[in-house]
Amino acid sequence: MSDKHSFTLRRADQARTDFVATVAELDLILAQLARLPPRRKLAQTALLATLTTGAIALAGIEALFR
């Protein structure tokens, strides 16, 4: 009968270890997500990059035809 309890305690200890590892991984993922810029900032950066590229392309076309 002690073998059953020993096995159960060992499995509970392994499950506890797995749970702690999972929580640590989730904390790491949450910390990484917190560092991501918000959606609005990403949209502004994409718009700025698009407009800048367009302005440079227009300036290049103007320089070619002059």
Rounded Cα–Cα distance for residues 50 and 59 (Å): 14
Q: Is 80 exceeded by the pLDDT of residue 2? A: no
Determine phi and psi for 37, rounding to 5 degrees: -70, 155
pLDDT digits (tens, 9 = 90+) for 11-56: 777 778 888 889 999 999 999 999 999 999 999 999 999 999 999 9
Q: Taking 60 as the threshold, does the pLDDT of residue 8 lie above it?
A: yes
pTM (2 decimals)?
0.51
C-alpha distance from residue 32 to each of 22, 25, 29 (Å): 15, 11, 5
DSSP letter for 1, please: -
Q: Which of 46, 28, 26 is nearest to 37 (CA)?
A: 46
Q: From CA 44, how far away is CA 39, in angstroms rounded? A: 9
